[in-house]
């Protein structure tokens, strides 16, 4: 059956119910899910999103060893000893935090993609607003009331929730483990995901376990509510049936909330649930203080979090392999922002801008996308890592190459503007074309400016391979100063003037994106 036909019949609306003392809300298909599920190709792909809440310090997660000298002068109190950084096959310039040996193995096995310096122009440093930007796909000066996939789902299923669920699709389109449904899944009129308050409650649901009711009138009422809820809860039985069909799973680390959530996800996928998108969460990354232990910077709160992330993801990937469904699943991590380049005096880091993210699974294009950020000697406490890749390009790429959504639909109805796609996963299941060309120009400077430093004017020289070419200028905090080029160009080398229009002295960045190729160069406006 074609995916579009399959999804047209997908059930997505159910009543709230009390199950095992927890509220379950199933509202249908997630925005991200439906967009990801509705297309014309034969695919049963699943996307698992891991939200790292709080703002992860990317510089101490994916460590740019070739910038170690500069970092030593900017974050000496938290920087990981270079001898303890985990090496990655094929590069000496980049390594992983020593608490992540499992993800090191996944990288070396070709099941992990690192995307460098993901962010957006004019970053917001509020947890709430930054999260909202990430899940809605909005510009920083824009407020959207729908999620990325909610908009696509409205395009694909304009009559939802009427007619759902139905006999063709009896499963929820999206499942989030948490106490509320993320705006990521918000459609124009209704949220389209199913939220389960916590993993323990879901285990109880799957195993038919309920807390005993008290021997009181209130207890009798609760028993009655549970009975009625079980009768009206559309998705309860299909979830239990899917879970019950999996009688054995791989080992997961103990005392790891993320692992508990991912174990449930693996069980449901392995049990044949047709749900397309899952969202799980690990919190605690707001490491203003105590990020490391003084004198042993490879330990501390951040190390503990990364260890949980790494071991949980590896256990999940191994479990999927054992269940025979690993080829169907791609995972992605994201955090609302990164941290500052310069550390603070509390063995921590403050809210920043861009940071790396991970894409993992059997079908990822392995390796590192992008370059290590260049750390300038002119960096101050207010400066941020420059963005290489817009997070919406990551969405666009997964929607296009994993869920086979036409690019014209992505641009017009989902992301509301054109974002260049990136080589993240093997698109061969969606297109007849070859895998996207990986940046073959690594190590070649495609953008530079002269003179540098400058006072009034500098020339920005860049090379494009042809096609859509974007050249932007940002200040050190990540604010977009000017778009110099955003158009189709013939292959070649170009020069454009950039004028200092009453800008303050300090650090600035010029960014080039040309398809998968993205490079950033630092510029200094002198006093």
Q: Each residue's pLDDT tens digit in the chain (527 positions)? A: 333 333 333 333 222 332 223 333 333 333 333 333 333 333 488 999 999 999 999 999 999 999 999 999 999 999 999 999 999 999 999 999 999 999 999 999 999 999 999 999 999 999 999 999 999 999 999 999 999 877 776 665 566 566 666 555 467 777 888 767 789 888 787 777 777 765 556 666 656 655 555 666 666 555 544 543 443 356 677 788 888 899 999 999 999 999 999 999 999 999 998 888 899 999 999 999 999 999 999 999 999 999 999 999 999 999 999 999 999 999 999 999 999 999 999 999 999 999 999 999 999 999 999 999 999 878 999 999 999 999 999 999 998 999 888 898 888 888 999 999 999 999 987 743 322 333 344 457 899 999 999 999 999 999 999 999 999 999 998 999 999 999 999 999 999 999 999 999 999 999 999 987 888 999 999 98
- Taking alpha carbons only, the member of 14, 19, 29 closest to residue 203 is 19
Order across the sheet with 91-96: list the strands: 62-64, 91-96, 86-88
The structure tokens 């109805």 sit at: 413
What is the per-residue pLDDT for 518?
A: 87
What is the per-residue pLDDT for 156?
A: 58
CB atoms within 10 A of CB 283: 12
Residue ranges covered by each domain of the chain:
3-438, 441-527
| pTM for the model | 0.79
- Taking alpha carbons only, the member of 155, 152, 106, 134 closest to residue 330 is 106
Task: Give per-residue burial for 454-483: e unless 16+ CB within 10 Å, then b.
Answer: beeebebbbbbbeeebbbbbbbbbbebbee
Q: Which CATH superfamily is domain 3-438 in?
A: Alkaline Phosphatase, subunit A (3.40.720.10)
What is the per-residue pLDDT for 436?
A: 30
- Give the pairing type, strands 467-475 and 506-514: antiparallel
What is the per-residue pLDDT for 171?
A: 73
- Rounded-to-integer distance, Cα 349 and Cα 339, Å: 6
241 within 8 A of 271, measured Cβ to Cβ = yes
Task: Give per-residue burial for 395-416: e unless 16+ CB within 10 Å, then b.
Answer: bbbbbbbbbbbeeebbeebbbb
Taking each helix axis as running N to C, give the angle between helix 101-108 and helix 301-323, from 0 to 180 degrees, rounded to the nearest 10. Answer: 50
18 within 8 A of 221, measured Cβ to Cβ = no
What is the per-residue pLDDT for 179?
A: 66
319 within 8 A of 252, measured Cβ to Cβ = yes
What is the per-residue pLDDT for 59?
A: 97
- At 23, list the tokens: 């509220």
- Rounded-to-integer distance, Cα 508 and Cα 386, Å: 9
Among 3.40.1180.10, 2.60.40.1930, 1.10.260.40, 3.40.50.970, what is the CATH number of 441-527?
2.60.40.1930
- Looking at the DSSP bridge assignments, the partners of residue 50 are 280, 333
399 within 8 A of 405, measured Cβ to Cβ = yes
Local structure of residue 427 (DSSP, 8 states) = G
């Amino acid at each position: 059956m074609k995916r579009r036909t399959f999804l047209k019949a997908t059930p997505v609306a159910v009543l709230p119910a009390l199950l095992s003392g927890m509220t379950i809300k199933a509202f249908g298909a997630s925005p991200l899910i439906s967009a990801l599920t509705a297309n014309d190709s034969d695919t049963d792909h699943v996307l698992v999103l891991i939200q790292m809440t709080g703002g992860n310090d990317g510089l101490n997660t994916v460590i740019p060893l070739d910038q170690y000298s500069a970092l030593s002068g900017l974050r000496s109190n938290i920087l990981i000893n270079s001898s303890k950084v985990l090496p990655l096959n094929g590069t000496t310039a980049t390594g992983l935090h020593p608490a992540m040996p499992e993800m090191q193995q996944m990288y070396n096995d070709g099941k992990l993609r690192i995307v460098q310096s993901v962010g957006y122009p004019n970053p917001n440093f509020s947890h709430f607003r930054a999260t909202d930007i990430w899940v809605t796909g909005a510009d920083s000066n824009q407020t959207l009331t729908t999620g990325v996939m909610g908009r696509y789902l409205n395009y694909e299923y304009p009559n939802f929730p009427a007619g759902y669920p139905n006999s063709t699709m009896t499963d929820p389109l999206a499942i989030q483990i948490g106490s509320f449904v993320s705006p990521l899944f918000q459609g124009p009129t209704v949220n389209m995901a199913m939220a389960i308050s916590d993993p323990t409650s879901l285990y109880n649901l799957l195993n038919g376990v309920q807390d005993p009711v008290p021997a009181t009138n209130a207890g009798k009422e609760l028993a009655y509510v549970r009975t009625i809820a079980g009768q009206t809860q559309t998705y309860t039985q299909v979830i239990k049936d899917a879970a019950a069909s999996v009688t054995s799973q791989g080992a997961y680390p103990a005392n790891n909330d993320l692992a508990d959530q991912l174990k449930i996800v693996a069980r449901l996928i392995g049990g044949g649930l047709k749900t397309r998108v899952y969202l799980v969460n690990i919190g605690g990354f707001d490491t203003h203080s105590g990020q490391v232990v003084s004198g042993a910077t490879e330990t501390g709160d951040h190390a503990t979090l990364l260890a949980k992330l790494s071991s949980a993801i590896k256990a999940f990937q191994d479990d999927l392999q054992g269940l025979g469904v690993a080829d169907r699943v791609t995972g992605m991590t994201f955090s609302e922002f990164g941290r500052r380049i310069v550390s603070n005096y509390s063995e921590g880091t403050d809210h920043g801008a861009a940071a790396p993210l991970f894409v993992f699974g059997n079908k990822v294009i392995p390796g590192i996308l992008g370059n290590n950020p260049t750390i300038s000697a002119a960096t101050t406490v207010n400066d941020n890592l420059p963005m290489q890749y817009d997070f919406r390009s990551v969405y666009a790429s997964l929607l296009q190459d994993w869920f086979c959504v036409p690019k014209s639909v992505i641009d017009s109805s989902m992301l509301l503007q054109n974002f260049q796609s990136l080589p993240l996963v093997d698109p061969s299941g969606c297109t007849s074309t070859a895998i996207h060309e990986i940046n073959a120009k690594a190590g070649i400077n495609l953008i530079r400016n002269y003179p540098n430093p400058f006072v009034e004017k500098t020339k920005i020289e860049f090379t494009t391979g042809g096609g859509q070419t974007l050249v932007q200028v940002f200040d050190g905090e990540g604010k977009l100063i000017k778009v110099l080029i955003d158009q189709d160009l013939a292959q070649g080398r170009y020069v454009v003037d950039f004028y200092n229009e009453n800008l303050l002295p300090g650090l600035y960045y010029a960014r080039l994106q040309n398809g998968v190729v993205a490079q950033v160069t630092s510029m200094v406006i002198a006093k």
